Amino acid sequence: MGCRTVILISGSGSNLQSFIDRLHPDQANIVAVISNRADAFGLQRAARADIATAILSHRDFPDRVSYDQALAELIDSYQPELVILAGFMRILTPGFVARYEGRLLNIHPSLLPKYTGLHTHQRALEAGDSEHGATVHFVTEELDGGPAIMQSHVPVLPDDSVEALAERVRQTEHSLYPLAASLYIKGRLRLIDGRACLDGAPLAPSGLRLDQFETDMRGHRND
Ligand X SMILES: NCC(=O)N[C@@H]1O[C@H](COP(=O)([O-])[O-])[C@@H](O)[C@H]1O
Question: Of all residues in this chain, which one has the CB nearest to ligand X in the complex?
Answer: 87
98 belongs to the binding site for ligand LMY7XDAE (CB under 6 A): no
Question: Is 108 annotated as catalytic?
Answer: yes
Q: How far is the CB of 87 from ligand X (least distance, A)?
A: 3
Binding mask 59-98 for ligand X (x = CB under 6 A): ---------------------------xx-----------
Question: Which member of 84, 92, 149, 196 binds ligand LMY7XDAE (CB under 6 A)?
Answer: 92
Question: Which member of 45, 99, 103, 108 binds ligand LMY7XDAE (CB under 6 A)?
Answer: 108
Task: Compare residues 71 and 134 and give the one whose CB is closer to ligand X.
Answer: 134
The answer on whether 13 is annotated among ligand-binding residues is yes
Pairing of strands 3-9, 82-85: parallel
146 belongs to the binding site for ligand X (CB under 6 A): no
The answer on whether 14 is annotated among ligand-binding residues is yes
Identify which range of 84-92, 179-187, 189-197, 198-206 contacts ligand LMY7XDAE by CB under 6 A: 84-92
Burial 58-95 (b: 16+ CB within 10 A, else e): beeeeebeebbbebbeebeebebebbbbbbbebebbee
Q: Which does 182 bind (CB under 5 to 8 A by kind): ligand X, ligand LMY7XDAE, none?
A: none
CA distance 62 to 219: 53
Q: Please name the residues in contact with 142: beta carbons below 8 A apart, sequence gap of 6 or more.
A: none
3-state DSSP helix/strand/coil % of the chain, to nearest 5? 40, 25, 35
Q: Do 34 and 8 form a contact (C-beta atoms < 8 A)?
A: yes
| CA geometry: angle 185, 42, 162, nearest 5 deg | 100
Positions in 91-130 near ligand X (CB under 6 A): 107-109
| Helix H or strand E encompassing 54 | strand 53-55
The answer on whether 130 is annotated among ligand-binding residues is no
- In the chain, alpha helices (H): 14-22, 41-48, 64-76, 94-100, 120-127, 162-185, 210-222
Burial 152-165 (b: 16+ CB within 10 A, else e): bebebeeebeeeeb
Single out the catalytic residue among 108, 121, 132, 137.
Answer: 108
Residue 25: cis peptide before it, omega within 30 degrees of 0: no
Report the interface residues with ligand LMY7XDAE, using CB under 6 A.
85, 88-92, 97, 106, 108, 117-118, 139, 141, 143-144, 146
Residues annotated within the binding site for (6R)-10-formyltetrahydrofolate are 64, 89-92, 106
Catalytic residues: 108
Report the interface residues with ligand X, using CB under 6 A.
9, 11-15, 42, 86-87, 107-109, 134, 170, 173
